[in-house]
Structure 1
Amino acid sequence: MTSEALRAAARPADGLSELRATSHGVFWLASAPERGCKRLWRWLDGEAYAVTPPGIDVGSRVNGYGGGAYACLGDNIILVESQSQALLRQSLDSDTPRSWWARPEARYGGLLADLSRQRILAVEEQGDGRHATQRLVTVTEGHCGILAEGADFYGAPALSPDGCWLAWVEWDLPHMPWQRSRLRVAQLDHAGHIGRVETWDGGAAVTQPTFGGDGQLVFMSDHEGWWRPYCLEGMSVRCICKAPADHVPTPWQLGECHHLWRGGTEPADGATLYFEEGAAHVLHVDARGEAIARLLPEATRVIGLAQIEGWLYALTQGPKHAARLERVHLASGEIQQLVALATPEDAPEPSTVSVRVGDAEQVTAFIYAPDGTGTRLPVIVRVHGGPTSASYPVYDPLVYWWVRQGFAVADINPRGSGNWGRKFRERLAGEWGRLDVEDVIALAEALITRGLADPEQLFIRGQSAGGFTVLNALATTSLFRAGASLYGVTDAPHLAEQTHRFESGYLDWLLGDTESQRSRSPRYRVEDIQAPVIFFQGTQDRVVVPAQTLVMADALRERGIVTEVVMFEEEGHGIRHPDNRQRMISDEMAFYMAALSSESQ
């Protein structure tokens, strides 16, 4: 196990994010390999340039997951400094940002430039924990004004090309933005003050409102069962793409863009996603939503889209490539790869396995395995976070490293995952800790039956909500030799009291009443866990607080269960620094090998 191999495995495959296109170039954030912080980059005149200096970490902390951490305001970039959450201004001709706006205990995200008024629109979050509040604000240097307040949460501000209309999304506790949210549309006067405000509420959820070049407002709604684009006509809506599929991922972050619409005398054509069997495809569609062409055919995950001068820019991942910036000319179909993270030529091609669960449902997993193996393999079942997130069939340096060590990896999308429609996403209502556990057990049994998995060498790992599934699976079955919980949920009732405001009502929806939360919390099922467990936890985590992990680990040790805890100073909900990620990978592999060794004795 070489240090270079570990360094490569520790690099994030999705290390590019937050794509924007302006007349001053194309911009995006990239994780710096030496520190894990995010720097702003620019593509201009055929070259990529780092805009922000190495010491500046760009990132929003609104809702704990951030997004929308910068905006281009003319010749200047306004950005959110990750640690302080202050807004900084940096000229495109300079490499030194300076203070522009800050408020004590405030966080900013979803930044949007209002060029005609030389101001920034943003979501402002004030206070901490369960007592935080949000509002939609305008910011100029030294001044902050209020556009909208009163709702619990705000997101996705969008301006019409003429600056006369503003759209945004609101939602209230106990809901998450993909459960129940509403679209707000306001007319702005010359000074940018809000006048008449209209509300469209389809009884479900909305996300990503955007104005086409002709001023037509298009947004995503899942009130008919799928995230599909709708035109707002008066206060009525018309569906553009009627295909029964999600067209955007679940909105965990601010500032996302996964559909774009061009202007013209007729309703605009555009580019949008189309999810099929968990993979994202980019489609060029006409005004009726009919596909003109599939764009960027190597992509199976799209991190963001942007458009300028006839080119569609995209941050993508695929089975054979880590994140890259590429573009396609919408008229000619020419594709150009501009910036790409390193990807080995022998990246494993995923296969898709579907497993029937329940009465007539099925879950899907993406399997990565070493080539040329004719024997049963040690398998790591990997559970994504969320639980309303998703796994994609893409290259991942960590998966590649495991495969090189002789393991197969099974990335599962259990019931409740995104990208499979509203009905599938809502299957976890009141059922978390049961259905997701059923799904990972069904997958493990299917891998054994089909001859891929060695039944004596099955492991399970998961992050955040995935850690909850891991620990509950270990308490339910003896199939797994060991498990790894990465900043995972262990005690739902206490988490509901301690976690940040964004997810404070989520557990009631996922688990039900307090008694259900307790009965399905791993902390209260310690007596049923027999397999070794390793925990990884950031000391600054505000989503799953460190005390949860420590109490759970102590309870397992008291029963004599082999338990390890690896704490990372100054890490939050996720392990970002490359040195910490290398240690995590090394420790996790050593833990699995020790579990195998003890089983053979």
Structure 2
Amino acid sequence: MTARSSPVTPETTQVITPDAVAARPGAPVWPTVAGAETWWCASDPTTASVGLWRCAAPGAPVRGVLGPGWSVGNSSIGYGGRPFLVLPGAEQHRLVFTRASDQRLYAAVVTALAAGLPETEVAPLPLTPADPDGVRTAYADPIPGPEGGDEVWCIRETTRAAPGDETADPAPRTTRDIVAVPLSGAAAEDPDAIRVVARSHHFLSGIRLSPDGARLAWIGWDHPAMPWDTSELMVARIEDGVAAPPVRVLGGDGVSVPQAEWADAHTLYAMGDPDGWWNLHRVDLTDGHPAKADAVCVLRTDVECSHAIWRVGATSFAVTDAGVLFRRSAGDQSLALWDPATGGLTELAGEWTDFAVGWSGDSSAVAVVAASPTESATPLRLDLAARQDRGAPGITVTRCVPASPDPFEDRHSIPQRRTVAVEGGWEVPYVYYPPTRPQLQGRTGPPPLLIDVHGGPTSRTGGTRSLELSLFTSRGFAVASVDYGGSIGYGRAYRDRLRHTWGTVDVADSVAVARALADAGLADPDRTAIRGGSAGGWTALAALAHTDVFCCGSVYYPISDPATWSHGETHDFESRYIESLVGVLPDDADRYAAVSPLAHAAGITVPFVMLQGLDDTICHPDQARRLVAAVEQAHGPGLCFRHLEFPGEGHGFRRAATTAAALQAELDLYAHVMGEP
């Protein structure tokens, strides 16, 4: 089902450079189906924008939807949310999307590719008003309104400016509502034309209208909980276009619900973890009444079958006529179709091992983004015909973009999943990328090692092809990406290993992986470095400050001071996150002081690079600056090998020039400290 890349000989293979990594377009995100077409978003580092793309059928030419200047996206909860909705038609589609530059909702008519009509220039028109002074509004997760087609429903986030102090706590200044926006465009000039449908929690995600339009379901949670700690599935009747008081039907009290989807007017499927794993539940609404709902786990497994909510409207399962399509993981991920009638499972797309969050579709087709150890992320389309009697469903899995020759084919490292035993009987998973530099063939001695720490920290590393990591392996480095305690994919108990132990468990797990590889002769213990961004930057700094295992480190937009990374020093979504990671002040002040990289900056005695965007609202530049200043105060200038600040960049770099400069700074550091691999 999957075409492989054409063979590439070493003579034609190019050298991977920082510029080549930086120029590579971003992975596809938010895939969906629109009739026979498949749509998705992808970032363009040359313009620092996110484009919207589609193809008429798998393998057909890929076409851009919007013209120059139309970057798609929103800033909901800081990391964004589902940014577009396609209402398909035979000759024309109606597109609704959020524009990144002003965060407003827009609508446009787009010619269907199968209609045989000439494509015309897409001319989007605003659906929502421009923000007044002192207000920032973001819209996310748009869905069709009730039958009639004259509204789109979405989650509106409103943040009001702090009087006289932009660093004031954003939580009391931020509200979220489920709203109805008229597709006529009336609200573009009249804000009162937007109707509030429902309010419940401080945070909202995954709004879903029942097939008959009579009920609305959504996910909600409140500070100080994060959605993977406690979140609630709410259901409310719709009366005259407004939700009646909602009822919780699953979640809460230490149970997390990442997603729910309607199967019919009276039945919801939802992922929840009352048993410690995100597993599939069915919620039956007796006579359609939310107060009489019963939630039952219909597929009990000891593997994770869902995701952590980092983006509004994130998804990782779909309800189709053929059954419930979902992913499950215990390191590598697999795709499965569950038949509600028989309880049978059908494994799909077996050659793929990673399925990104954010997929979408309809009752007969679903679009996902998949990757594997030998394939970069690419959109797939799954067409699932309904089962006939007791026969097997008709399933077609095809890639939307044909495979093409990779100019770096023989320089890519093929990752290997491994584990290492640590204190407490835990097995820490990690992905090992062996060095691939052709000139090293026949050379003896273990290679230098880079410990790669993912962000989050409630996230995971995928064991898939990575051009960025191949930049290092192709130069002779080994790389190990660690799923330290707190990572997702291994159940709640593994996530909870990091509760009140951040800066300890993550560091110890990273050190354990480094030592295991050294003991196995796969890494040089004297030439082992650590790298990470955001929460991974915290772990890198903590490891440099509290251990003597690493000879240098690369730190991207980090948290360095837990005592200030909260309230007004970060964004609303994570402004109470530190309470579950470290503790509550002032009661846990000793714990804060014990793990803080800033408080122990004098313990950093090896070179490092610090790389920071100046527009970062999640980890403010001051976190990086104070750490660098404290190290220089303790040891004098020069230990910070390079401190680069990038105007116009936020939390995660968008511009090709920024990424290239950051990666070159890393390579220069490693050459300076470790020499030739």
- TM, length-normalised to structure 1: 0.94
Shift of 1:122: 1.5
Shift of 1:238: 1.4
* Deviates most, 466-475 or 575-584: 575-584
> What residue in structure 2 maps to residue 339 of structure 1?
401
For the residues of structure 2 that align with 1:415 and 1:437, how far apart are their CA atoms?
10
Shift of 1:95: 2.2
> What residue in structure 1 maps to residue 463 of structure 2?
393
SS in 2 for 1:524: coil
Is 1:301 aligned with 2:354? yes
* Residues 321-358 of structure 1: per-residue CA shift (max 9 Å, x gap): 11111224433444322126865433322112211111
SS in 2 for 1:79: strand
CA contact (8 A) 1:240 1:288 kept: no
Shift of 1:244: 1.1
> What residue in structure 2 maps to residue 238 of structure 1?
296
SS in 2 for 1:460: strand
> What residue in structure 2 maps to residue 182 of structure 1?
232
For the residues of structure 2 that align with 1:230 and 1:61, how far apart are their CA atoms?
31
> What residue in structure 1 maps to residue 326 of structure 2?
272
* Residues 200-219 of structure 1: per-residue CA shift (max 9 Å, x gap): 24331112111126763111
Shift of 1:577: 1.3
Shift of 1:196: 5.4
Listed as ranges, the matches of 1:248-397 within 5 Å are 248-263=306-321, 269-276=323-330, 278-287=331-340, 290-303=343-356, 304-308=358-362, 310-330=364-384, 331-339=393-401, 343=406, 344-346=408-410, 347-371=412-436, 375-397=445-467
Assess, with a 3 A threshold, how the Cα gap between structure 1 residues 390 and 255 changes in structure 2: closer, same or farther. same
* Residues 93-150 of structure 1: per-residue CA shift (max 9 Å, x gap): 4423232213521112122222624212221111153322222212122131112224
CA contact (8 A) 1:13 1:341 kept: no
What is the aligned residue count?
A: 593
Shift of 1:161: 2.2
For the residues of structure 1 that align with 2:127 and 2:36, how far apart are their CA atoms?
21
Shift of 1:482: 0.6
The one-letter code matched in structure 1 to 2:69 is G
SS in 2 for 1:426: helix
For the residues of structure 1 that align with 2:632 and 2:231, how far apart are their CA atoms?
44
**Aligned counterpart in structure 2 of residue 95 of structure 1, from 122, 130, 139:** 122
Is 1:156 aligned with 2:206? yes
For the residues of structure 2 that align with 1:289 and 1:61, how far apart are their CA atoms?
42
- TM, length-normalised to structure 2: 0.83
Assess, with a 3 A threshold, how the Cα gap between structure 1 residues 326 and 24 changes in structure 2: closer, same or farther. closer
Is 1:221 aligned with 2:272? yes
For the residues of structure 1 that align with 2:34 and 2:203, how far apart are their CA atoms?
28
For the residues of structure 1 that align with 2:245 and 2:579, how far apart are their CA atoms?
36
CA contact (8 A) 2:127 2:181 kept: no
* Residues 577-599 of structure 1: per-residue CA shift (max 9 Å, x gap): 122111111111111111225x9
For the residues of structure 1 that align with 2:296 and 2:478, how far apart are their CA atoms?
45
For the residues of structure 1 that align with 2:433 and 2:210, how far apart are their CA atoms?
44
Q: Identity over the aligned pairs, expressed in percent?
A: 27
* Residues 527-566 of structure 1: per-residue CA shift (max 9 Å, x gap): 1111111111111111000111111111112222511211
For the residues of structure 1 that align with 2:341 and 2:646, how far apart are their CA atoms?
51
Gaps of 5+ in 1: none
Shift of 1:364: 0.8
For the residues of structure 1 that align with 2:105 and 2:176, how far apart are their CA atoms?
17
Assess, with a 3 A threshold, how the Cα gap between structure 1 residues 317 and 383 changes in structure 2: closer, same or farther. same
Assess, with a 3 A threshold, how the Cα gap between structure 1 residues 123 and 321 changes in structure 2: closer, same or farther. same
Shift of 1:517: 2.2
CA contact (8 A) 1:180 1:205 kept: yes
Shift of 1:408: 0.9
Is 1:578 aligned with 2:656? yes
Assess, with a 3 A threshold, how the Cα gap between structure 1 residues 260 and 438 changes in structure 2: closer, same or farther. same
Shift of 1:274: 1.0
Assess, with a 3 A threshold, how the Cα gap between structure 1 residues 5 and 289 changes in structure 2: closer, same or farther. farther
Which entry has the higher C-alpha Rg, 1 or 2?
2
* Deviates most, 210-219 or 224-233: 210-219
CA contact (8 A) 1:73 1:115 kept: no
Assess, with a 3 A threshold, how the Cα gap between structure 1 residues 172 and 310 changes in structure 2: closer, same or farther. closer
Shift of 1:153: 0.9
Assess, with a 3 A threshold, how the Cα gap between structure 1 residues 511 and 452 changes in structure 2: closer, same or farther. same
For the residues of structure 1 that align with 2:230 and 2:396, how far apart are their CA atoms?
40
CA contact (8 A) 2:213 2:238 kept: yes
> What residue in structure 1 maps to residue 116 of structure 2?
none
> What residue in structure 2 maps to residue 417 of structure 1?
487
Is 1:503 aligned with 2:574? yes
Listed as ranges, the matches of 1:382-461 within 5 Å are 382-461=452-531
> What residue in structure 1 maps to residue 260 of structure 2?
209
> What residue in structure 1 maps to residue 599 of structure 2?
524
Shift of 1:457: 1.2
CA contact (8 A) 2:34 2:87 kept: no
For the residues of structure 2 that align with 1:193 and 1:413, how far apart are their CA atoms?
43
For the residues of structure 2 that align with 1:102 and 1:552, how far apart are their CA atoms?
42
Shift of 1:193: 2.1
For the residues of structure 2 that align with 1:44 and 1:159, how far apart are their CA atoms?
28
Shift of 1:399: 1.0
* Deviates most, 547-556 or 130-139: 130-139
For the residues of structure 1 that align with 2:398 and 2:475, how far apart are their CA atoms?
34
For the residues of structure 2 that align with 1:240 and 1:399, how far apart are their CA atoms?
40
**Aligned counterpart in structure 1 of residue 609 of structure 2, from 534, 537, 547:** 534
SS in 2 for 1:574: coil
**Aligned counterpart in structure 1 of residue 138 of structure 2, from 107, 126, 129:** 107
The one-letter code matched in structure 2 to 1:575 is F
CA contact (8 A) 1:261 1:271 kept: yes
Is 1:135 aligned with 2:199? no
Gaps of 5+ in 2: 1-12, 112-120, 161-169, 188-192, 286-292, 385-392
CA contact (8 A) 2:143 2:152 kept: yes
SS in 2 for 1:470: helix
Is 1:31 aligned with 2:43? yes
For the residues of structure 2 that align with 1:222 and 1:528, how far apart are their CA atoms?
40
The one-letter code matched in structure 2 to 1:134 is R
SS in 2 for 1:127: strand
SS in 1 for 2:526: strand
CA contact (8 A) 2:43 2:51 kept: yes
Assess, with a 3 A threshold, how the Cα gap between structure 1 residues 160 and 340 changes in structure 2: closer, same or farther. farther
CA contact (8 A) 2:353 2:370 kept: yes
SS in 2 for 1:375: coil
For the residues of structure 1 that align with 2:73 and 2:235, how far apart are their CA atoms?
27
For the residues of structure 1 that align with 2:158 and 2:610, how far apart are their CA atoms?
31
For the residues of structure 1 that align with 2:23 and 2:301, how far apart are their CA atoms?
36
SS in 2 for 1:66: coil
Shift of 1:308: 4.5
Shift of 1:384: 0.3
For the residues of structure 1 that align with 2:211 and 2:203, how far apart are their CA atoms?
25
